[in-house]
């Protein structure tokens, strides 16, 4: 009995201690909020954007370096993501456009990046996201650019040739697909809805587990969930968030063919990002076709020791047999060696555009 009483007293003491800590946290959070409001006034006077990807990256790295546990770095980042979102809204209200509708993976990435204290604008297409940012209806946009299984998202890449928008940041998102529906089990399902890209990411699982089921394309995974919510004989491949929204059962979890199913998303805006200390630069260029031309282009980077993390080609929509090359490299465009390499590359190209320098994801 004495032991139970002692434990109860200890529990009461610990809860009182947590209450004191919570009071200190609230006080400090509001101090941070007041400092953020003042920063917002200064940025407004200088006509600087409220969101600073370079500063965000530096804050996360600093917090990770100071974290001694028991909270994991991922937990600290999630907590501070919402703190920075709330403080950002005190500096200036922000609107973020994304490839919608709600509950898509792009929506989840947008929430992960910007938190719950900003306004969100769902768009029907990648082009619409770019347009809303270009005309100022949205401060930033979030679009997918490549998947580790299915490769590049061509619509996004093509838009960078047409648009003057910059890449401000990147986010890597581990994608988990689930089979959702109102059926008792997957055996009674006759058709499955989802996006074509998602079918590609789950191709082997579908061939093995549902070889006779008809695959029906939808504009988004969220739209697929909405359709299936009205039909007991159908299922969809979407996120478990969609299951909660539309009252669907999870018929099978993690059905993607690869455990390393990661999609890279880009945050786009009208202004370039300042150096953060750990950056990437993306460019797109075209050249006159001749033997060895791509080798000559890339030699500008090799002789300066610049690591290229991606090279992708896309055919021009304006001229047959003409290609654009997309290159990602380590380093910020303001660094001397990247600046020198781009200057040399420019002299060899028929077209060159720096898409942006931004913190590594």
Residues marked active site are found at 263, 265
Distance CA 353, CA 161 (A): 8
Measured from the Cβ of residue 278, the count of other Cβ atoms closer than 10 Å reads: 14
Question: How would you class 30 by CB atoms within 10 Å of its CB: exposed for 0-12, middle for 13-18, buried for 19 or more?
Answer: exposed
**Furthest CA-CA distance within the chain:** 89
Distance CA 61, CA 255 (A): 33
Measured from the Cβ of residue 233, the count of other Cβ atoms closer than 10 Å reads: 12
Three-point CA angle 66, 69, 72, nearest 5°: 95
Locate tokens 């006034």: which residue? Answer: 41
Three-state SS string across 156-206, please?
HHHHHHHCCCEEEEEEEEECCCEEEECCCCHHHCCEEEECHHHHHHCHHHH
């Amino acid at each position: 009995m004495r032991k139970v009483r002692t434990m109860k007293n200890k529990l009461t003491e610990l809860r009182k201690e947590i209450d004191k800590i919570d009071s200190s946290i609230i006080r400090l959070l509001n101090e941070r909020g007041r400092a953020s409001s003042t920063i917002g006034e200064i940025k407004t006077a200088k006509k600087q954007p409220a969101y600073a990807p370079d500063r965000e990256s530096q804050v996360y790295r600093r917090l990770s370096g100071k974290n001694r546990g028991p909270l994991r770095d991922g937990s600290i980042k999630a907590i501070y993501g919402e703190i920075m979102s709330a403080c950002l809204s005190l500096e200036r209200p922000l609107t973020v456009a994304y490839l919608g509708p709600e509950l898509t993976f792009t929506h989840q990435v947008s929430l992960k990046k910007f938190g719950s204290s900003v306004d969100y604008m769902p768009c029907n297409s990648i082009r619409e996201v770019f347009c809303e940012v270009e005309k100022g209806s949205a401060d930033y946009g979030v679009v997918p650019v490549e998947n580790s299984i299915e490769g590049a998202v061509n619509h996004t890449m093509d838009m960078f040739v047409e648009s003057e928008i910059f890449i401000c940041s990147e986010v890597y998102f581990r994608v988990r697909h689930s089979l959702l529906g109102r059926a008792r089990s997957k055996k009674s399902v006759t058709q499955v809805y989802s996006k074509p890209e998602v079918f590609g990411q789950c191709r082997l699982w579908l061939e093995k587990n549902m070889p006779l089921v008809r695959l029906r394309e939808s504009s988004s995974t969220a739209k697929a969930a909405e359709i299936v919510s009205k039909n007991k004989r159908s299922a969809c491949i979407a996120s478990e968030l969609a299951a909660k929204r539309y009252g669907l059962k999870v018929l099978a979890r993690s059905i993607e063919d690869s455990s390393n199913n990661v999609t890279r998303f880009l945050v786009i805006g009208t202004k370039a990002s300042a150096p953060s200390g750990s950056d990437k630069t993306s460019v797109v260029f075209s050249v006159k076709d001749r033997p060895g031309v791509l080798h000559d282009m890339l030699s500008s980077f090799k002789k300066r020791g610049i690591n290229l993390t991606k090279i992708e080609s896309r055919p021009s929509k304006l001229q047959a047999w003409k290609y654009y090359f997309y290159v990602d490299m380590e380093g910020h465009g303001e660094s001397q060696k990247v600046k020198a390499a781009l200057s040399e590359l420019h002299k060899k190209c028929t077209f060159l555009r720096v898409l942006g320098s931004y913190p590594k994801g």
